[in-house]
Amino acid sequence: MHAGIAAVVIAAGLLLHLPLLAWGLLVFAIALVLVAELLNTAVETLVDLVSPGDHPLAKQAKDVAAAAVLVAAAGAVTIGLLVAGWALARAAGSSGGML
């Protein structure tokens, strides 16, 4: 799912002719989410290995790892909305700020 969203963001960036700084922000946001997903998978796999049964601490470790993905995704959405808002304002003729 995250890869599909990243593809849509990249396509939109190409259509909006984003400057280098905006691309850097988007690449950072995409990479952050992908790293969080990989770490979440690693934590879940390791927890399953060392604690195959149900244990409250195992559940907590998995929940915290999943929450990290949620926080990264929320940050990426925020960055995406800010960049898109700036790009659309620029396309509409506004001076557009810092990027």
Alpha-carbon dihedral sign for residues 21, 90, 16, 30: positive
Residue 50 structure tokens: 């060392």
Residues constituting the chain: 99
Any catalytic annotation for residue 37? yes
Hey, which bits of 9-90 come out as E strands? none
Catalytic position from the list 13, 36, 37, 69: 37
Active site positions, annotated: 37
